[in-house]
């Protein structure tokens, strides 16, 4: 994990996400995804997708990384980097977008792949009009 006093470069975040994909448990889809999130403290947390024979119990890399950050005592994320083993970048699924919103409504999202393209966007662009904690007050 990187410290806030030493900001992590986009290249380091990309390497962390790609490395996390190698640890994915994906025996069914063989679609190994990795993610790296920067928490409010500046620390970086990695995650990979974890599949299950009962498909509904699978967990995406983005959520695994965010949940690891929360379990470590973090309360928000500022950046999410996602790596997919595809020729073009893939954005987070709807469930991941919702979880990102819960902990990082202003987060930036960087989607990387094996090809030369990437997508750099914001959560607001990916999930306009999101439902979140503010709607429950």
Catalytic site positions: 62
Strands (E), the chain: 34-39, 44-48, 77-83, 108-112, 119-122
Strands (E), 75-132: 77-83, 108-112, 119-122
DSSP 8-state assignment for residue 5 = T
Report how far residue 92's alpha carbon sits from residue 127's, in angstroms, rounded to the nearest whole number.
10
Q: At what angle do helices 61-71 and 94-103 cross, to 10 degrees?
A: 20
Which residue, among 55, 51, 104, 56, has the nearest Cα to 81 in the 3D structure?
104
Report how far residue 103's alpha carbon sits from residue 107's, in angstroms, rounded to the nearest whole number.
9
């Amino acid at each position: 994990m990187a410290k806030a006093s030493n900001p992590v470069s986009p290249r380091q975040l990309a390497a962390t996400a790609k490395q996390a994909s190698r640890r994915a448990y994906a025996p069914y889809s063989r679609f190994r995804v990795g993610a790296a999130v920067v928490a409010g403290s500046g620390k970086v947390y990695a995650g990979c997708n974890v599949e299950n024979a009962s498909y509904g119990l699978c967990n995406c890399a983005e959520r695994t990384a965010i949940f690891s950050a929360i379990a470590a005592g973090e309360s928000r994320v500022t950046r999410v980097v996602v790596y997919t083993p595809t020729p073009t970048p893939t954005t987070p699924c709807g469930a991941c977008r919702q979880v990102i919103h819960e902990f990082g409504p202003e987060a930036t999202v960087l989607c990387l792949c094996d090809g030369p393209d990437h997508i750099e966007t914001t959560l607001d662009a990916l999930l306009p009009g999101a439902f979140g904690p503010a709607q429950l007050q």
